[in-house]
A and B are shown apart, each in its own frame.
Chain A
């Protein structure tokens, strides 16, 4: 199979995923207890005002008609109007996507920068003091709640040492880098712990592989062996894990973006859930589903590049 047909086949696989997510989110949102009109309106709202909200949301329509309109409108790019923000859902989401994408990529970049070198150092010093020290310190990152790490970083690096701003997003690219350093680091400390452990194990396994022994016996330099043979093969499983982590990381932005006052999709999702803003919840869930699907697609493409056997199969 050529790279292009592989890409096309993977893209087509996103369609059923997207449709399934539409069904699930439609049902889940409507299974939540409580009248959404009451949740959206102020407690002081009269019955007439509640009825107006129900009409706006089509809640008085039969269930299957609600679903039909939801699918029809979504496929035509109309995700409805947010009750909370009084603005088209699509506009709001488009405004926020760059923020969450920036934060996610920044966190992934930091995770790789932190986990990659340390995983190699730990693997090459298997069971040595350095290996134990690295693994132990990452265990702290793995077992500490993200919001707590965030608050610690904010307190020491931002409020006390004033090295970074306390939350926010900034307006220019450099300001984004500066403002998002702490939230990205908070997420990266958690993600890099997972990546480091996986990459370390993979490197140890590959180091013992026959083709690596053969490369060494051919007299190839250490750097060539590690770079060309060990790294490329060890990365295959790590790339899968990284892809999965990005999916988890996006849902993790709910907490991170709230603590660090980052105006992204995660914080918006939290606000939408609390306000029971149906159109916004549905739009955001679909957006997350598409973003995660695209990340998985990208992960698959990288894997196929690293290991041509996947492409051929």
Chain B
């Protein structure tokens, strides 16, 4: 037994040594993006190209592991939540510094979190709505909570609570906090993340260089990041981004169209990655008793909406639109990668007989439904053609209405639609955000569907203050059951994030929330 243990330990050690040797430091990675970052600041980042870059420049107190679910220490070496959930104490890691060498202090943390809670600054303050006050202590900060908040730990690992330098903000030019934040999105600003901003040409290029004072260690026992620099080039056109990668002018290209995935997978010079995401593609169904014009709504009953769902062959859609890279939704409220997602198997598996039966019973047969799609979207055009055929088989005719994104958003808010296409990616590593978006009526009328279920709403409200993980898990299970039965959406599919990298790029990660993580990326020379 002893011999076996020694051999096993030796094996593990060898693996560790090999792994450490495998990592190569230095060099610059060039990454082609579909859009530019306009303001990478924890509280003002409001578009994905901004949000997904924040944690490269600014570290959070806690961090989410690559699986997108597990929370681990970040700038805080540990945290403690009181039994009643009304106090959260965070201890700062010792010796941590901003990129200019100045120490990251509890005052910086207090300043950063107070910015994040200020409703006048940016769109994310609601995520910290349960925080009553923040006190800097000698070793960290203490959050006094208005009420217990089971999401608080996840929020402290979310981009909007990342730590900025109080001194830098106080010294920055500008009359308002936003003006200061804009001024600080520039070279030379002290940051807490693995990279600093080296230079930027708006709309065109941006370069990060390694933060010499970053605290996290790599596999070789030295401080991250491995790369000296990461450069970003903005290339909006999908085909051009890929050509740039194929020509060897960049090391990575994001948002590869699914139609190109198989071709790039076959290319030995390219490592085609499909990162699990929290992205779901769905279609809200108007679930009100009447349509906006006052006429009776044939989709008002659970049975009618279930019929519409059963009539759709999701596997066929996944092949047609995602070229096999997607997967059916298994939780009605969220992507399968989200915490508390209940995997009940593919939702509403294709069953034309059952769909026909439900359609006849609910009076849906013979109805005409308008599908509002995004003009110019080939995915939506394919979806419409497929759905028209599939619903035709259960006696439902489909009319298409093509609109731009703004009109679709306005229709969703006003309820002037039957069914329209939509997509979602979580910003927070907790299901409360997506569940509130899709199912909770009081804030956004259950993603504009008008579906209003008292039990669901009550469960959602209770789950937001429930700090017993088991009880909260039960609440989410029940919410998912209710939502599945009511089917206020067409549950279409989940898609991954498709990123193509040069074969010598290692360690890059796009998290399920979409964050581009370059801190552990390295290039084999």
Contact = CB atoms under 8 A, between A and B. Distances in A.
Contacts of B405: 39, 274
B524 to A, nearest CB: 22
Given A96-B203, A165-B249, A87 B406 contact: no
A34 B409 contact: yes
Interface stretch (B38-46, B54-62, B64-72, B137-145): B38-46
A41 B409 CA distance: 10
Nearest to A161: B247
**From B237, B244, B403, B413, residue with most partner A Cβ within 10 Å:** B237
Nearest to A91: B202
A285 interface: no
Nearest to B122: A49
B295 to A, nearest CB: 22
A36 B406 CA distance: 7
Contacts of A268: 203
Interface in A34-73: 34-36, 38-39, 41-46, 48-49
Interface in B182-209: 182, 201-204
B406 A35 contact: yes
A168 interface: yes
Contact of A166 (B178, B182, B236, B240): B240
A85 B407 CA distance: 22
A258 B236 contact: yes
Contacts of B404: 33-34, 39
A85 B237 contact: no
Nearest to B41: A86
A92 interface: yes
Contacts of B341: none
Given A46-B443, A166-B249, A32 B203 contact: no
A38 B202 contact: no
Interface stretch (A136-144, A152-160, A218-226, A239-247): A152-160
B33 to A, nearest CB: 10
A260 B240 contact: yes
A27 B490 CA distance: 38
Given A45-B123, A46-B126, A92-B202, A39 B243 contact: no
B146 interface: no
A86 B38 contact: yes
Given A33-B406, A39-B406, A46-B126, A166 B234 contact: no
Contacts of A33: 403-404, 406-407, 410
A159 B243 contact: yes
B47 interface: yes
Contact of B406 (A159, A259, A276): A276
Contacts of B437: 44
Given A166-B247, A267-B203, A39 B409 contact: yes
A167 B406 contact: no
Contacts of A46: 123, 126, 443
A84 interface: yes
B227 to A, nearest CB: 21
Contacts of B237: 167, 258-261
A200 B85 CA distance: 84
Contacts of A270: 236
Instruction: Tell which of A34, A44, A151, A268 has the most Cβ of chain B within 10 Å.
Output: A44
B185 to A, nearest CB: 9
Contacts of A259: 237, 239-240
Contacts of B236: 258, 261, 267, 270-271
A37 B6 CA distance: 66
Interface residue tally on A, bucketed by range? 35 or more
Contact of B233 (A39, A92, A261): A261
A166 B244 contact: yes
A38 B234 contact: no
Given A49-B123, A263-B204, A155 B243 contact: yes
The majority secondary structure among interface residues of chain B is mixed
Interface residues of B, number: 41
A222 B142 CA distance: 92
Given A166-B243, A258-B236, A261-B237, A38 B406 contact: yes
A162 interface: yes
Interface string B412-426: 110000000010000
Interface string A169-202: 1000000000000000000000000000000000
A267 to B, nearest CB: 7
Contacts of A159: 243, 246-247
Given A166-B243, A167-B235, A167-B240, A87 B409 contact: no
Contacts of A44: 123, 427, 437
Contacts of B234: 261, 263
B409 A38 contact: yes
A34 B247 contact: no
Contacts of B410: 33-35, 38
Contact of B44 (A86, A154, A169): A86
A258 to B, nearest CB: 5
A307 interface: no
A43 to B, nearest CB: 6
Nearest to B202: A95
Contacts of A35: 406, 409-410, 413
Contact of A87 (B46, B182, B407, B422): B182
Interface in B25-49: 35, 38-39, 44, 46-47
Give the one of B123, B182, B404, B406 with max A CB within 10 A.
B406
Interface in B218-266: 233-237, 239-240, 243-244, 246-247, 249
A85 B38 contact: yes
A162 B405 CA distance: 38
Contacts of A158: 243, 247
A167 B243 CA distance: 9
Contacts of A274: 405
Nearest to A45: B123
A10 to B, nearest CB: 34
Interface string B125-165: 01000000000000000000000000000000000000000
Interface in A235-284: 258-261, 263, 267-268, 270-271, 274, 276
Nearest to A167: B240
23 contacts: A33-B407, A34-B406, A35-B406, A42-B46, A43-B409, A44-B123, A45-B123, A85-B202, A86-B38, A95-B203, A151-B239, A154-B243, A158-B247, A159-B247, A162-B247, A166-B249, A167-B240, A167-B244, A259-B237, A261-B244, A263-B204, A263-B234, A276-B406
**Those 7 A-B pairs whose CB atoms lie nearest each other, nearest first:** A39-B406, A34-B406, A263-B204, A34-B407, A261-B235, A38-B409, A166-B244
Given A35-B406, A258-B237, A260-B237, 19 more contacts: A33-B403, A33-B404, A33-B407, A34-B403, A34-B408, A34-B410, A38-B410, A46-B443, A84-B38, A92-B203, A154-B243, A158-B247, A166-B244, A167-B235, A168-B204, A261-B235, A261-B240, A268-B203, A270-B236
Interface of B: 35, 38-39, 44, 46-47, 119, 123, 126, 178, 182, 201-204, 233-237, 239-240, 243-244, 246-247, 249, 403-410, 412-413, 422, 427, 437, 443
